[in-house]
């Protein structure tokens, strides 16, 4: 089990770094959130490892504290822009969950053969879906980012 946890920890760290890089390319929180979601889809497709592995019940023991830290990083990297877009913390947390679910879904469906598209097309679709989801949430946000609020 320790070897599997070490692999999951390393993969979570890699995804976190990819998400941070992609987010830095975006000028605003809405773009950052969508880019992070797309990075998750891309990572899942390329490595066949995603949130289902990082958050597996198998790793709930306190002995996997390093993986727990990396999981928090993965959540927090997406939570930061979501909190800037949403009025309430609870709404931001809900948006994080929705973005994780949709980005993982795009990757999982691609890997199962449901999409006849190339990987980059599916990643672009995941980003577009994330942008739509973020726009729906950011309409209720305070006017901190007028362009992001439509």
To 10 degrees, what angle do helices 89-111 and 29-47 make?
A: 30
Residue 40 is inside which H or E element, if any?
helix 29-47
Does pLDDT of 33 surpass 90? yes
Three-state DSSP state, 24: helix
Q: Taking the CB of residue 12, how many other CB atoms lie within 10 A of it?
A: 26
Domains recognised in the chain with CATH numbers: 2-138 (1.10.357.10)
pLDDT at 149: 44
Rounded to an integer, what distance in angstroms lies between the CA atom of residue 121 and that of residue 106? Answer: 11
**pLDDT given at position 112:** 95
Q: What is the mean pLDDT of residues 71-100?
A: 96
Query: To 5 degrees, how large is the angle CA 53–CA 54–CA 59?
Result: 90
- In percent, the amount of the chain with pLDDT more than 90 equals 84
pLDDT in tens, 86-142: 989 999 999 999 999 999 999 999 999 998 889 999 999 999 999 999 999 876 555
Residues 17-40 have a mean pLDDT of 97
Asked if pLDDT for residue 27 goes beyond 50, the answer is yes
Q: Is 60 helix (H, G, I), strand (E, B) or coil?
A: coil
Mean pLDDT, the chain, as a whole number?
92
**CB-side neighbour CA atoms (13 Å) of 139:** 6
pLDDT band at 79 (very low <50, low <70, confident <90, very high): very high
What is the rounded CA–CA span in Å between residue 45 and residue 140?
A: 33
Closest CA to 70 of 124, 126, 116, 6: 6
Q: Would you state the pLDDT for residue 40?
A: 98
Which single residue is written with the structure tokens 């890699």? 14
């Amino acid at each position: 089990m320790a070897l599997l946890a070490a692999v999951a920890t390393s993969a979570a760290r890699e995804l976190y770094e990819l998400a941070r890089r992609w987010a830095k390319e975006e000028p605003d929180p809405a773009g950052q959130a969508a880019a992070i979601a797309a990075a998750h889809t891309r990572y899942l497709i390329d490595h066949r490892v995603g949130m289902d592995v990082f958050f597996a019940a198998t790793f709930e023991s306190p002995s996997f504290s390093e993986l727990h830290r990396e999981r928090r990083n993965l959540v927090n990297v997406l939570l930061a822009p979501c909190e800037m877009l949403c009025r309430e913390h609870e709404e931001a947390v809900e948006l994080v969950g929705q973005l994780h679910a949709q980005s993982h879904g795009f990757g999982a469906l691609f890997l199962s053969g449901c999409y006849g598209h190339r990987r980059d097309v599916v990643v672009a679709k995941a980003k577009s879906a994330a942008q739509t989801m973020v726009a729906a949430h950011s309409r209720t946000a305070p006017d901190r980012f007028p362009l992001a609020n439509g």
